[in-house]
Amino acid sequence: MGHRDIPVLETGRLILRGPEPEDYPNFKATFTSYRARFMGGPLNPYETWMLYAAEIGHWEIRGFGMWMIHDRVTDETLGMAGGWQPAVWPEREIAWIIWPEKAGKGYALEATNAARQFFYDEQGWDGAVSYIDPKNLDSIRLAERLGAKIDKAAKSIDGHDVVYRHPTAAELKDSQIADGIALEIGHYQDPLFKPKGWAID
């Protein structure tokens, strides 16, 4: 109650829905942990609850926000992805976080790609940035896989973050990068090579 209807996005493996009260324990587990060190954390339980409520209110104020990423088969939550722009944020950001135990399966790529396409197609965004801590190598790698490039001329939030600029809607349409993203997601969804056991190196 209290917030506008948040759209539901579906991808091959995922369903993205607005943050719901019952998802809070999963959010709390990550945001009170070291995993949240690049997102202003770790937070104490009070701060975490306030932030979770703000994730919901963000949708009401801006008309966009962060989705909770669910596994479409089990419905368990995997992380969050979407748009983020509190006051004083220079531009609309595309952001993501994956619960630590769910990392490495391409979920952030699949979810973020769907979110970006939604903003471009349904909300008329012509571009977006991601503000990333330069020590957050996993996120830098994801930004690059999404086709984003460092924009040294763009204003950062507070000088401690690097601005990655996403390809515009026009640049992305029928592009090699869009094909590459689809191919990579496809490999996660249905790996061509399924190793038995563990690599020995």
Q: Which residues contact 174 (CB under 8 A, 6 or more apart)?
A: none
- Among positions 29, 61, 154, 177, the unique one binding other proteins when judged by CB under 8 A: 61
199 binds other proteins (CB under 8 A): no
- Per CB under 8 A, contacts with other proteins among 75-94 are 86-89
Nearer to other proteins, 15 or 61 (CB): 61
Strands of the sheet containing 149-150, edge to edge, are: 9-10, 14-17, 66-71, 77-84, 93-98, 129-132, 162-165, 149-150
User: C-alpha dihedral over 108, 111, 114, 119, to 10 degrees?
Assistant: -90
45 binds other proteins (CB under 8 A): yes
- Among positions 29, 38, 42, 49, the unique one binding other proteins when judged by CB under 8 A: 49
CB 114 within 8 A of CB 9: yes
Helix residue ranges, H only, 35-106: 45-62
Instruction: Tell me how many residues contact other proteins (CB under 8 A).
Output: 27
Kindly state the smallest distance separating residue 16's Cβ from other proteins, in Å. Answer: 17
User: Which span (48-56, 129-137, 142-150, 167-175) binds other proteins, by CB under 8 A?
Assistant: 48-56
- Among positions 13, 36, 52, 132, the unique one binding other proteins when judged by CB under 8 A: 52
40 binds other proteins (CB under 8 A): no
Kindly state the smallest distance separating residue 105's Cβ from other proteins, in Å. Answer: 29
CB 119 within 8 A of CB 125: yes
60 binds other proteins (CB under 8 A): yes
Q: Is the C-alpha dihedral spanning 46, 134, 148, 192 positive or negative?
A: negative
1 binds other proteins (CB under 8 A): yes
One-letter amino acid identity for 19? P
One-letter amino acid identity for 45? P
53 binds other proteins (CB under 8 A): yes
By the criterion CB under 8 A, which residues form the site for other proteins? 1-3, 21, 24, 44-58, 60-62, 86-89
